[in-house]
Amino acid sequence: MIKAPKLEWISLVYLLFFVMAVLSPSMHTRDRFGFSEERLEELSIFAFGIAGLATFAAYEHLMEKREKERKDVEMSYARAKKELIESYAYIGSVNRKIELLKKVANDTSLTIDASSKVPKELYTAIAMNACASVGAASALLRVMSVSKLRTEGEYVHHTGKRLVFKIPNKDLRDLHENSSRHAFVRSEDGKEILVIPADHADDTKAFLLLQLEESAEKIQEVDVSLLKVFVNQAQILARQFAKNSA
């Protein structure tokens, strides 16, 4: 980028024209070029005045240009800073999600045994990790018999105030029958609950219910594919429990 001239030089040029305009009467002592002395003085003052105004206009234009360049640099810096922060936040979020997935997969593989029941703590851990992965206020894992509309188990995790998930099983069955990947379901007390069904078509099926923060930005950030991993892990546990009970 070509550097603009220093503003002090423009100020000096403007001052020079001003001084020359003031001294114009002493510059002409006789008639010249067919013009009288008075006319020459008037023309000189006019010319120096125009030159001064042009210099002042150039000065103002340069000031505006420099101010615009300064604002552009500040905006570029702010935009780059924001993008960098968002990049680090995204990387951190991905790393946390990977750690959560590794922990859930490891806990599931260590817990499942052909001769043992699935402990409640593992279901609760899945609900807790699912809740933490999207920053939800509450999470519930509900295992139910789709054909009988009977709840086989519920495992809940709260980050703050306890929430009762008033979602009837028939609403969950509708999601199962419609093969919905996820949906927002209005609870009986008017809350919008995000429901993630497991992908398996078993009669005993796991559903993950989440109470999210009521901001559009937060809802857009929800990673449904990640939540699918959690609820499918719970489905594996439910299937294993059904085999152990048979």
Q: Are 194 and 231 in contact (CB under 8 A)?
A: no
- Taken in order 164, 167, 168, 169, the sign of the CA dihedral is negative
Angle, CA 36 vertex, CA 31 and CA 37 arms, to 5°? 70
Distance in angstroms (rounded) separating the CA atoms of residues 119 and 193: 26
Mean pLDDT of the 13-29 span: 67
119, 124, 154, 171, 240 from 113: Cα distances, Å: 11, 18, 21, 32, 8
Written as one string, the DSSP assignment of 68-133 is HHHHHHHHHHHHHHHHHHHHHHHHHHHHHHHHHHHHHHHHHHHH--TTSPPPHHHHHHHHHHHHHH
Under DSSP, the state recorded for 221 is T
Predicted confidence (pLDDT) at residue 10 exceeds the cutoff of 50? yes
Helix (H, G, I), strand (E, B) or coil at 207: strand
pLDDT single digits (tens) 24-79: 666 666 666 666 667 777 777 777 777 777 777 777 887 888 888 888 888 888 88
Contacts of 191 (CB under 8 A, 6+ apart): 163, 166, 211
Beta strands at 150-158 and 183-186: parallel, antiparallel or unpaired: unpaired
Beta strands at 138-145 and 150-158: parallel, antiparallel or unpaired: antiparallel
Phi, psi angles (nearest 5°) of residue 210: -130, 135
Q: Are 134 and 221 in contact (CB under 8 A)?
A: yes
Sheet hosting strand 204-211, strand order edge to edge = 150-158, 138-145, 204-211, 192-197, 183-186
Q: What pLDDT is stored for residue 170 in this prediction?
A: 94
Mean pLDDT of the 138-145 span: 92
pLDDT single digits (tens) 168-223: 999 999 999 998 889 999 988 888 899 999 988 888 899 999 988 765 455 556 78
One-letter amino acid for residue 118 of the chain: V
Band of the pLDDT at 137, cuts 50, 70, 90? confident
